[in-house]
């Protein structure tokens, strides 16, 4: 059973609900434990500000672990970013239709998972969207409305079936000249997961890794309180909180039409592009996914946004250990069946 609400039922939750706020792109997090030391460092990686916060009694140990986590994030960026000329993504795009590229185990896994989520979502998630996303130019932080003719010309290049994937020999390629990969919907999630893995290997018991809203929490907030409190941003009120969750050992990713967009003739054009139409869908304002891994949450948040409220929630309910929040284009909020017990309300918001 899903649970539906209207946005008008959710005025911003008072600040007293959270101990302190770490301002993020998509969520607000109560981050500083009251009885233990916490340490934090910010760096710009993968096109966004990444914040790592850890709970640790030793500053030296904490900072060493954080530095190692940022090293793995940088390594994954160097492999996956289409903006870096020597990355595997760039090499594969440059040689599309000509040859296949020998890649690392990390990159091979990202491609494998991308294909799995493409199949699971019937192509709603598709990393071969590159030729279309390039037309919209959201990487310039401005965006541009391409013509119907431009979109029509590029659409035949999109389709995950055009990916060559050889797990045995570690080869990845694109079958059609002119096609291109865009790993923006999954690489950050994988990087967050790997950063958490490094932190745990370094003996960090609790913390948060946030990559511009791709968020993973692990361990207990304090000795007395197991859960962290996470506020989900209101899609139409930048300073407002839609609702708050109490969770730990989870990944949370939000995709919204308010992240990167422009308005033209009263229409909002955002950066989440439907691989089948080459255009931004308008059925949702925001989608938040909770999952066991940030990679999974990353891919699913994009896919569910594109699928829309009905198909998207049906997909969520079929997946074990996955929950979701969907805000449709009319402001109606739908919670998946496992979420109501994790939501923090004020009494007048029930």
Q: Quick one: 190 and 330 in the same domain?
A: yes
Which letter, b or e, does each residue of 252-275 get, where b requires 16 or more Cβ atoms within 10 Å of its Cβ?
bbbbbbbbbbbeeeeeebbbbbbb
CB-based contacts of 42, cutoff 8 Å, min separation 6: 49, 50, 51, 52
Q: Quick one: 104 and 121 in the same domain?
A: yes
Which of 174, 200, 217 lies at the terminal end of a domain, its last residue? Answer: 174
CA angle in degrees (0–180, nearest 5) for 241-307-215:
40
- Give the pLDDT band of residue 19 (cuts 50, 70, 90): very low
Q: Quick one: 18 and 140 in the same domain?
A: no
Backbone CA torsion sign across 33, 34, 35, 36: positive
Q: Quick one: 208 and 140 in the same domain?
A: no
Least confident of 44-48, 141-145, 184-188, 301-305: 141-145
* pLDDT, mean of residues 302-312: 98
Q: Which domain holds residue 156?
A: 83-174
- Residue 14 is predicted with a pLDDT of 27
Domain assignment present for 119: yes
Domain assignment present for 181: no
Closest CA to 233 of 206, 252, 207, 211: 252
Q: Quick one: 195 and 100 in the same domain?
A: no
Question: Rounded to two decimals, what is the model's pTM?
Answer: 0.89
CATH number, position 338? 3.10.520.10
Least confident of 15-24, 176-185, 295-304, 317-326: 15-24
Q: How far is CA 325 from the centre of its chain?
A: 14
- Residue 20 is predicted with a pLDDT of 31
Q: Quick one: 72 and 204 in the same domain?
A: yes
Domain assignment present for 350: no
Can you tell me the distance from the alpha carbon of 72 to that of 194, in angstroms, rounded to the nearest whole number? Answer: 7
Q: Quick one: 211 and 111 in the same domain?
A: no
**Tokens describing residue 61:** 């140990």
Q: Quick one: 250 and 323 in the same domain?
A: yes
Which of 117, 147, 174 lies at the terminal end of a domain, its last residue? Answer: 174
Q: Quick one: 204 and 305 in the same domain?
A: yes
Contact 206, 227 (CB under 8 A): no
Q: Quick one: 136 and 242 in the same domain?
A: no
pLDDT in tens, 206-252: 999 999 889 999 998 777 777 888 888 889 887 888 889 989 899 99
Q: Quick one: 107 and 56 in the same domain?
A: no
Average pLDDT of the chain to the nearest whole number = 88
Domain assignment present for 180: no
CATH number, position 143? 1.10.3980.10
Which of 174, 204, 236 lies at the terminal end of a domain, its last residue? Answer: 174
- Residue 274 is predicted with a pLDDT of 98
- Residue 86 is predicted with a pLDDT of 96
**Tokens describing residue 46:** 């993968």
- Residue 345 is predicted with a pLDDT of 55
Domain assignment present for 127: yes
Backbone CA torsion sign across 71, 38, 293, 243: negative
* pLDDT, mean of residues 148-170: 98
- Residue 126 is predicted with a pLDDT of 98
Q: How far is CA 66 from CA 62, 217, 220, in A?
A: 6, 14, 18
How many structural domains compose the chain?
Answer: 2
Q: Quick one: 224 and 299 in the same domain?
A: yes
């Amino acid at each position: 059973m899903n649970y539906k609400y209207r946005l008008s039922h959710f005025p911003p939750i008072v600040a007293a609900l959270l101990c302190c706020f770490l301002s993020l792109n998509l969520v607000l997090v109560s981050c500083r434990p009251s009885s233990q030391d916490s340490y934090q460092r910010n760096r710009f990686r993968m096109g966004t500000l990444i914040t790592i916060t850890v709970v640790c009694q030793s500053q030296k140990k904490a900072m060493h672990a954080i530095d190692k986590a940022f090293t793995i994030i940088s390594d994954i960026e160097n492999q996956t970013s289409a903006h870096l000329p020597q990355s595997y993504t760039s090499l594969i795009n440059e040689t599309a239709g000509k040859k296949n590229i020998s890649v690392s185990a990390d990159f091979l896994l990202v491609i494998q998972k991308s294909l799995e989520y493409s199949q699971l979502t019937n192509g709603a998630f598709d990393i071969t969207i590159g030729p279309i996303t390039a037309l919209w130019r959201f990487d310039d932080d401005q965006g541009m409305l391409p013509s119907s003719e431009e979109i029509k010309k590029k659409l035949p290049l999109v389709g995950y079936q055009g990916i060559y994937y050889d797990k045995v020999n570690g080869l990845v390629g694109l079958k059609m000249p002119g096609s291109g990969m865009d790993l923006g919907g999954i690489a950050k999630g994988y990087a967050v997961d790997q950063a958490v893995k490094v932190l745990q290997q370094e003996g960090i018991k609790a913390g948060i890794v946030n990559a511009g809203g791709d968020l993973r929490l692990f361990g207990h907030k304090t000795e007395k309180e197991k859960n962290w409190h996470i506020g989900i941003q209101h899609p139409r009120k930048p300073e407002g909180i839609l609702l708050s969750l109490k969770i730990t050992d989870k990944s949370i990713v939000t995709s919204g039409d308010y992240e990167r967009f422009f308005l033209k003739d009263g229409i909002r054009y955002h950066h989440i592009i439907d691989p089948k139409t080459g255009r931004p869908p308008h059925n949702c304002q925001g989608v938040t996914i909770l999952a066991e891994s940030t990679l999974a949450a990353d891919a699913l948040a994009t896919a569910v946004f594109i699928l829309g409220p009905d198909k998207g929630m049906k997909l969520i309910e079929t997946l074990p250990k996955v929950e979701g929040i969907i805000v449709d284009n009319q402001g109606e909020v739908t919670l998946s069946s496992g979420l109501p017990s994790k939501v923090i309300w004020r009494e007048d918001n029930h």
